[in-house]
Structure 1
Amino acid sequence: MKLSGLLPVFLLLWADRSSSGIQSHPKPSCRYPPSQWCRSLEIAIACNVQKQCMEVNATRSYQAVPPVSVTLYYESLCPACRVFITQQLFPTWTMLQDIMTVTLVPYGNAKELPSANSPFTCQHGEPECRGNMIEACIIQLTGHSAFQIIYCMESAADVLNAAQPCLQLYAPSVTWLSVDSCVKGSLGHQLMHANAVMTRALNPPHTHVPWVTFNGEYTEENEDKAMSSLFSSVCQLYKGVKPPACTGAPVRLNRGFC
């Protein structure tokens, strides 16, 4: 049972109880700092604060607040896309995954052709088309582990050669044979066609990659903010109670496009 995201409200409640003479201090055996008391039911029990954590959980006004939906339209070998994924998107998701979701659409500036033998052309050549399809198949086959695998690939010196070891590292139950079969078979083409349809449906149409939408919408203002500090953008767009991580100072990074 997960009770994360309750620290600010819980500490306020704990302070109020302490000031009124009601003792809510953890047992001496509690080995966790206050910032972790409501992180899980097991910790709450160990620290003798489960009642307070459950009370806070029951009175949360932001329970139904949806997470910020971030969709990235990108290319597997685009240098600017790789920088955005490895330096901004993945680190932000690592810190804020409780208040954001990430959708990856590997296609970007590719073109879909009527040819049966070579139905796609890509900005950075055939290797990128293969990289796009590998990542599309990984997203389809590995589910929750997909983002970690793609981050592993995009942060490697050789994106394509990193695919198999990254898959083995983060999704050992999924065989490389299944990914290879997807890439070489009809499923890979179907997934790339679906990504092409999604990319062509963008309104306004994309003019470069990385192209980022928030909650399904694109604005130049949001893109400017995302490219300089995605972390701050997600914190600002989230409508619920901000997690403790959002209190940090923004860090601005250089932007780039393909």
Structure 2
Amino acid sequence: MELNATRPDPVVPPVEISLYYESLCPGCRAFLTEQLFPTWTLLKDIMKVNLVPFGNAKELPEENSFSCQHGEPECYANMVEACVLYAASHAAFPVIYCMESSADVLKSAKPCLQLYAPFVKWQTIESCTRGELGHTLMHQNAMKTQALKPAHTHVPWITINGVRPSQSRAFALISHAEICLVWAFEI
């Protein structure tokens, strides 16, 4: 008889954490690197993370562009991260963690991609950011952010299984014990 004490029940869905953030926001970077990623590293079998790099940006349809709270570098970094999420899929979170935990998010993008998603060429990400795909991905992130109920008022903005808890509870929930409790209640 085999004891399967470490594997999650395949019938129980994972706890879904969605993070709406800005790539150059200090608070977003701290939350992603100090709380969310370490928790996911330990509990990835029972949690799913959705990253939505857009935050407080504004879509400017008449100019076919975006305006970001922390300027043009943030708009570009948001798009790079959106393209990484698209191209690297399962390896995207470690790439983005690597970028967000570095001193310079943009300068670290290529080395982080090469380290954690070597199957994705940097040229693929550059092509995405310069083309229609990058714009489409950012538009989709804008739509996801605008569809939040209640509407987001700041970043980082977190939902758990699609529901927005209070801000203090949201930060507290991204702990190992709380994720396990949320997951256990799904059984």
Q: Which TM-score bucket, shorter chain as reference?
A: over 0.9
Q: Which has the higher strand share?
A: 2
Q: CA deviation at 1:219?
A: 2.2
Q: CA deviation at 1:173?
A: 1.6
State the alpha-carbon separation in 2 of the partners of residues 147 and 62 from structure 1. 23
Q: CA deviation at 1:229?
A: 5.3
Q: Which of these residues, 94, 99, 108, is aligned with residue 46 of structure 2?
A: 99
- TM norm structure 2: 0.93
1:214 corresponds to which residue? 160
Q: Which of these residues, 161, 174, 183, is aligned with residue 230 of structure 1?
A: 174
2:150 corresponds to which residue? 204
Unaligned runs of 5+ in 2: none
Q: Which of these residues, 31, 36, 46, is aligned with residue 84 of structure 1?
A: 31
Q: Which residue identity is paired with 2:88?
A: T
Larger Rg: 1
State the alpha-carbon separation in 2 of the partners of residues 219 and 89 from structure 1. 16
SS at structure 1 position matched to 2:119 = coil
1:176 corresponds to which residue? 122
Unaligned runs of 5+ in 1: 1-51, 243-258
State the alpha-carbon separation in 2 of the partners of residues 100 and 61 from structure 1. 10
Compute the RMSD of aligned alpha carbons: 2.0
Q: CA deviation at 1:115?
A: 3.1
- State percent identity of aligned pairs: 57
Point out which structure has higher relative CO (alpha carbons under 8 A, 6+ apart). 2
State the alpha-carbon separation in 2 of the partners of residues 61 and 163 from structure 1. 33
Please say if residues 225 and 233 of structure 1, whose CA atoms lie closer than 8 Å, have aligned partners that are also in contact. Answer: no
- TM norm structure 1: 0.68
